[in-house]
Amino acid sequence: MVKNFEDMQKLGKDNMDATMKSFGALSKSAQAIAVEVADYSKKSFEDGSKAIEKLFGAKTWEKAIEIQSEFAKASYESFVAEATKIGELYLDFAKEAYKPFEGYVAKAAPVK
């Protein structure tokens, strides 16, 4: 009886430790993602402002089209790069959040 109680206490403590480690990974990853999104938003706003300034300075319709095309291309490339980077951050978060529970999953997996 005492042995079972001790086992249950250890299991409860192990579960709590794993959960706290997972929450730590969540906090760290969420902060990294938020910083990355804020930096991208700031850069995107600055790039848009520069493009508008260039558009106002365009002397011809062709030059305005060229400026807009360059801006659209650069914005698209920047967005794809940023989306990839944020996707990698989410993937790293998932891996880190899962690590504390790997042992439990291995124990629960059926043996073939």
Instruction: Give the DSSP per-residue string, 43-100.
Output: HHHHHHHHHHHHHHH--SHHHHHHHHHHHHHHHHHHHHHHHHHHHHHHHHHHHHHHGG
52 assigned to some structural domain: yes
68 assigned to some structural domain: yes
Distance, CA of 74 to CA of 2 (rounded, Å): 67
Domain that holds residue 88: 2-99
**How many independent structural domains does the chain possess?**
1
71 assigned to some structural domain: yes
pLDDT in tens, 32-68: 999 999 999 999 999 999 999 999 999 999 999 999 9
- Going along 1-112, which residue ranges are E strands? none
21 assigned to some structural domain: yes
**Whole-prediction pTM value?**
0.69
Angle at 7 between CA 6 and CA 12, to 5 degrees: 95
pLDDT in tens, 66-86: 999 999 999 999 999 999 999
108 assigned to some structural domain: no
